[in-house]
Structure 1
Amino acid sequence: MIAELAAGAVAGGGLALLVMLLVQPQPGIAATLARLERGGRRSAVTRSAAGERTDGRLDRARESIGARLESEATLRGWQLSRTRTDLAVMNRTLTHHLGTKALLGLAAFIWFPGVITLLGYSNSLGVPIVVAVVAGFVGFMLPDLQLHRDAESRRRDFRHVVGSFLDLVAMNLAGGRGLPEALMAASSFGGHWAMVRLRQALSNARIMGLTPWESIARLGEDLGVEELRDLASALALAGDEGARIRTSLMARAESMRRKELVDVEGAAGESSQSMLLAQLLMCIAFLVFLSYPAVSQLGS
């Protein structure tokens, strides 16, 4: 009974996916405007990274499947905001990510039940079907988990660079430069990817006729870095009202460094607790190993 139910669920899910792919919905106005806005704000770094991929058969299949899935998501108005933000931080395209998810889920769906069947661990059809569904779901969701973890690591790296960037801006302001010139000069130091993104955002602001703080706010929204949006608000206040910004920027940089130090100390404390727990488990296992012969002799 379980095998029939599992087979029916898999067949029904496959038919539902097939119908969703075949039926082309009409995109709404909000979805169309969001797609156009994302296309206009796509960075040149992302386009160049997309052009550097190899033209292998697997890559072409991944790009084709990913493009179809991205088209379906756009037509149905699925924003995928968190995924797009993480991809912007990692400098990857949504097409590449969706193609990877689909191929990895399909590979897990086929490989794991095949191994179970070949090794003879199951004499019925229900177990391989259940394993296939679970493995396919895990394989499909695994790239999202890996992407989010890597994106959070790069965001921490970006926040560290922003603190140094604020110090450089304050130094340029102390040298008599105006705020826009100080921002551009500070972003010109170093070849770190975060500095490159800041420099690119400020350069695009000149081309698009935006103020530097508006461009920084857009970059913070695209990358999901709240500190950049707060910085843009402070810079807008200074640019519009002529407030003294140098002391404020130095204080903000110091605050970011203190917060980063607290986060590092918290991570170190968690690692210490994990090591203590591992040592405790090793001691318990060693005590069990020593006491097992005596306990076994008492039982006999």
Structure 2
Amino acid sequence: MIVTVVVGAGLGLGLWLVGTGLRPPRPSLAEQLAALQPAAGGRTPAGSVVDPQATGWAGRVGRPAGRLVAASSLISGRTRRDLTVLGRPVEVHAGEKVTAAVVGLLLAPAVTAVCTVAGVGVAGSLPLAGSVLLAAAGFVTPDLGVRADARRRRVDARHALSAFLDLTVIGLAGGAGVEQALDDAAAAGDGPMFTRLRRALDTARLTRIPPWEPLGRLGVALGVAELSEMAAAVSLAGTEGATIRASLAAKAASLRTHALTDAEAEAVAASERLSLPVVVLFAGFLVFIGYPAVAHVLTGL
């Protein structure tokens, strides 16, 4: 009875999600215009615009229910910052979580049904407990993937920021002003980080605000503290006339040193992980050699 109820509920929910995923509700014109406008007070972090087309099948299927999850507190603030770094909509990620949870919820009853058809008895409480555990695991698993991807993206962002600082220092050494040096440095590079930097500087130019304000908000939104520190140093040059060329050069050198240290630490960790299979293989070889002797001694007693 329990298996029938769970399978029926899961099947109905799955059909509803498939139907709404194939024909999602269209947002109104007011909602689309509001998404293009920054929040009041300029608190929207620069570079927080996401690509609504970057969706997989799981995100499309679960997106209607994902809107409800995204509006709740089930998506942590850390996960939202990681999604901002990756440029993924929160609704799509929530849809992936819902889809994975539904798949996990239906997996145990499906396996139980197959076992029942095959004549294998299964305890009545196992399908229910398995459904709950697999649904919880499916709901949490997308967050782990997003966290790992965001960590790699932040490493790439720090590499790009180091190059951006070097280019800015070169522009300042050539006699350019702070804003001109920042614009030239952002235009010289390519990649997601340079695109975000150009977007932040364009926002500053079009809204007639100092460039260090959107750069600082971008650093907070991406979780890259070095970018926020650079924006604070640039603000000193813009408001107090401080010389920042040496400071930016030191920051770029510091970023390269940290990147080299992190690369060495990852290489050491990879070497240690590679030694584990060798140890296991050696232990298995010792067991293979010593088993006949131990078996002969035990049978002789």
TM-score past 0.5 threshold: yes
- Select the residue among 81, 96, 99 that pairs with 2:92: 96
- Aligned residue number for residue 123 of structure 1: 122
1:1-300 equivalence runs, <5 A: 36=39, 41=44, 46-47=49-50, 49-51=51-53, 53=55, 60-71=60-71, 73=72, 80-119=76-115, 123-300=122-299
**Kindly tell me: are residues 286 and 39 of structure 1, through their superposed partners in 2, closer, same or farther at Cα, counting changes over 3 Å?**
farther
Structure 1: how far apart are the matches of 2:42 and 2:104? 33
Structure 2: how far apart are the matches of 1:102 and 1:259? 38
Tell me if structure 2 keeps the 8 A contact 1:62–1:103: yes
**Kindly tell me: are residues 142 and 250 of structure 1, through their superposed partners in 2, closer, same or farther at Cα, counting changes over 3 Å?**
same
- Aligned residue number for residue 22 of structure 1: none
Structure 1: how far apart are the matches of 2:155 and 2:254? 14
1:278 deviation in Å?
Answer: 2.6
CA RMSD of aligned residues (A): 2.7
Tell me if structure 2 keeps the 8 A contact 1:164–1:253: yes
Tell me if structure 2 keeps the 8 A contact 1:117–1:128: no
> Which one-letter code corresponds to 2:166 in the other structure?
D
> Which one-letter code corresponds to 2:108 in the other structure?
F
SS at match of 1:157: helix
1:50 deviation in Å?
Answer: 0.5
Structure 2: how far apart are the matches of 1:171 and 1:180? 13
SS at match of 2:175: coil
> Which one-letter code corresponds to 1:144 in the other structure?
D
Tell me if structure 2 keeps the 8 A contact 1:168–1:186: yes
Over residues 54-109 of structure 1, what are the superposed CA-to-partner deviations in whole Å (9 max), with x where a residue is unaligned? 8x7x66532212223223x2xxx778321111011110000101011011111111
Q: Which has the higher contact order (CA 8 A, sep 6+)?
A: 2
Tell me if structure 1 keeps the 8 A contact 2:112–2:122: no
Structure 2: how far apart are the matches of 1:198 and 1:110? 44
Structure 2: how far apart are the matches of 1:249 and 1:43? 21
Structure 1: how far apart are the matches of 2:255 and 2:279? 36
SS at match of 2:199: helix
Q: Which moved more, 1:160-169 or 1:182-191?
A: 182-191
Structure 1: how far apart are the matches of 2:93 and 2:196? 21
1:279 deviation in Å?
Answer: 1.5
**Kindly tell me: are residues 207 and 104 of structure 1, through their superposed partners in 2, closer, same or farther at Cα, counting changes over 3 Å?**
same
How many residues of Structure 1 are paired with residues of Structure 2 in the alignment? 261
Structure 1: how far apart are the matches of 2:154 and 2:96? 23
> Which one-letter code corresponds to 2:61 in the other structure?
A
**Residue ranges of structure 1 left out of the alignment (5+ in a row):** 8-34
SS at match of 2:219: helix
**Kindly tell me: are residues 129 and 78 of structure 1, through their superposed partners in 2, closer, same or farther at Cα, counting changes over 3 Å?**
closer
Q: Which moved more, 1:161-170 or 1:80-89?
A: 80-89
Query: TM-score by structure 1 length?
Result: 0.79
Structure 1: how far apart are the matches of 2:52 and 2:41? 16
1:236 deviation in Å?
Answer: 0.9
Query: TM-score by structure 2 length?
Result: 0.79
Over residues 165-210 of structure 1, what are the superposed CA-to-partner deviations in whole Å (9 max), with x where a residue is unaligned? 0000000011110001100110001321111111111111112222
Q: What is the percentage of aligned positions where both structures have the same residue?
A: 34
**Kindly tell me: are residues 220 and 122 of structure 1, through their superposed partners in 2, closer, same or farther at Cα, counting changes over 3 Å?**
farther
> Which one-letter code corresponds to 2:62 in the other structure?
R
